[in-house]
Amino acid sequence: NAGVTQTPKFRILKIGQSMTLQCTQDMNHNYMYWYRQDPGMGLKLIYYSVGAGITDKGEVPNGYNVSRSTTEDFPLRLELAAPSQTSVYFCASSYATGGAGNTIYFGEGSWLTVV
Amino acid sequence: AQSVAQPEDQVNVAEGNPLTVKCTYSVSGNPYLFWYVQYPNRGLQFLLKYITGDNLVKGSYGFEAEFNKSQTSFHLKKPSALVSDSALYFCAVRDITGTASKLTFGTGTRLQVTL
């Protein structure tokens, strides 16, 4: 039972480079999310999606883009990487039906350093 | 806007002693509250949640949480702490505004259990 799978686990980027963090889930969840975690700041929502073809901004979307072409996949694109994007990134997913009581399940995280 | 506060950055407890990790919340409607645990270099693991009903919620690994509506609190508890419980704990509240039910996290509390 894979759950939410993120790749890569670790990555070092140079300033100005671009990259894509991959996320896939095998639980047939409609909702998918990207969060970033900074020390002492908790988790902040970057983008989310309620289904294939539908995405929306969270609290901290600047410098990122997403797409949702399938139910399973929700990649996060970093354009023109900046040191402020050094963080741990978490992909997550949940069911849509059942309302707010649904549990959100997280991937293992992607550690990104921009130098 | 809905929010969660975790007033303690760190909680220290001796193994075998009871532990409490505090969380208070602010919501406009009914609260949907969650606790997650994060071990070093790992993703967030779901512990327990409060949706409705009994104010004492039991979860994974012997943890429980007490919902107190008058004090707007949802403290995490365990009767007897283990060294292996040492981790980062996050309280979260479900935000059901908009088209997706997103989690808003507290800043986290580091639990250190010593022998």
Q: Is A101 on the interface with B (CB under 8 A)?
A: yes
Q: CA B93, CA B30: separation in Å to the nearest integer?
A: 10
Q: What share of chain A is helix, strand, coil (3-state, %, to 5)?
A: 5, 50, 45
Mean predicted confidence (pLDDT) in B41-58? 91
Contact list, A102 vs chain B (CB under 8 Å): 101
| Interchain contact, A102 vs B105, CB within 8 Å | no
Check residue A12 and give its pLDDT.
Answer: 97
Residues 55-114 of B with CB under 8 A from A: 90, 94, 96, 98-103, 105-108
Check residue B100 and give its pLDDT.
Answer: 65
| Interchain contact, B43 vs A107, CB within 8 Å | yes
Q: How many helices (H) and strands (E) in chain B? A: 0, 12
Are B91 and B4 in contact by the 8 Å Cβ rule? The answer is: yes
Are A91 and A23 in contact by the 8 Å Cβ rule? The answer is: yes
Tell me: pLDDT of B9 over 90: yes
Please give the residue that has the higher pLDDT: either B100 or A113. A113
| Interchain contact, A31 vs B45, CB within 8 Å | no
Are B63 and B81 in contact by the 8 Å Cβ rule? The answer is: no
Per DSSP bridges, beta strands A110-114 and B33-38 are unpaired
Per residue of chain A (115 residues), give pLDDT as tens: 679 999 999 999 999 999 999 999 999 999 999 999 998 788 999 999 999 999 999 999 999 999 999 999 999 999 999 999 999 999 999 987 666 678 889 999 999 999 9
What are the residues whose beta carbons fall under 8 Å from the beta carbon of A16, sequence distance 6 or more? A80, A81
Q: What is the DSSP letter of A96?
A: S
Q: What is the DSSP letter of B2?
A: -
